[in-house]
Copies of this chain bind each other. A is one copy, B any other.
């Protein structure tokens, strides 16, 4: 049932060590481990400290676990926005973040550009918004925002909390943590793990904001409010019985990533992206959906395939290569290719060679 290479952007291909770690987990009794035990605390510490090292997250930031990035959208709005949030919308997932804020009764505003496009450098956001939601990498379109662009908001909107959705880009981007307040991702994309865990990184400004909303008499949720997260994290614990197995696997894969080195992972990501964009652009029936080269994602590459989408999919599948479908209305005219650490250079070379032959 397992293909030779699975390029779906998530749930995506597992990192090659995961199956072995799952076996170890059963041998070590992890699936039955009490979440208030010393053993769990050690796994929690290993996952959170490992992530901080891998991603160069400075002191003053905390790492919390949720069930999904979808949950984190909701928790971020609950904990960080009393009245007003602002969203940069350029695809289905950035739009969902905006809509969740609206559903939670906030005064929401947005700047929106068409699918496949990025924003102009001079976006102006009102000074009174409490939170700015930015999707670093739009999984639906393959548009990635430049770090310079993301970093520009701190100066322009010093009073707003800057929250970055990096669901389908981490561990690739090297964020400047002095320019953002919160970052989140889910493990079934760039970390090559089974779905069922979201990771939420926040700084002290986020905690102070949640405390302030709470003090004003408003609700910030219950077990997954930032203050309660922190109270538990100080003991290397979670508020509820979490997905222990997934936290264990994350800790292990983060160790693997550290052994390979985040710079190696980044260089490999760039190499693999370069050969695939090259293959797409030189193909007689394919073209990159994202035209602006500076906005082309290194981690989710989207090809316009038009009427050839079905044929291409079938031909690739015959070779054991599973491309990701286009998102939503582009299901029948595009293919998406995830480029995560789980995807080897050999798999990308096979993909590129195969595309050239079709």
Interface residues of A (CB under 8 A from B): 1-3, 6, 8, 10-14, 18-19, 22, 26-35, 66-71, 73-74, 99-100, 103-105, 186, 188, 193-196, 219, 221-223, 239-246
Determine the distance from Cα of A70 to Cα of B239 in the docked complex, in whole angstroms.
9
A34 touches B11 (CB 8 A): yes
List residues of chain B with CB within 8 A of the CB of A105.
Answer: 219
Q: How many copies does the complex hold?
A: 2
Q: How far is the CA of A22 from the CA of B20 in the complex (A)?
A: 12
Q: Of B2, B14, B70, which contacts A223 at CB under 8 A?
A: B70
Q: Which residues of B contact A28 (CB under 8 A)?
A: 1-2
CB distance from A6 to the nearest CB of B (A): 6
Q: Is the CB of B11 within 8 A of A32?
A: yes
Apart from A1-B27, A2-B29, A67-B68, what 12 extra A-B contacts exist at CB < 8 Å? A2-B28, A8-B34, A11-B35, A22-B22, A35-B195, A67-B71, A67-B240, A71-B240, A100-B222, A195-B244, A196-B242, A196-B245
A241 and B27 form a contact (CB under 8 A): no
User: What would be 18 A-B contacts, judged by CB atoms less than 8 Å apart?
Assistant: A2-B29, A6-B29, A8-B32, A8-B34, A11-B35, A11-B241, A12-B32, A66-B67, A67-B243, A71-B223, A99-B222, A103-B221, A103-B222, A186-B241, A194-B243, A194-B245, A196-B242, A196-B243
- A193→B240 CA distance, assembly (Å): 16
The reply to whether B32 and A14 contact each other, CB–CB distance below 8 Å, is: yes
B223 touches A74 (CB 8 A): yes
Residues of chain B with a CB closer than 8 A to A34's CB = 8, 11
Min CB–CB distance A215 → chain B (angstroms) = 14
Q: Given A223-B100, A242-B195, are A13 and B32 also a contact pair (CB < 8 Å)?
A: yes
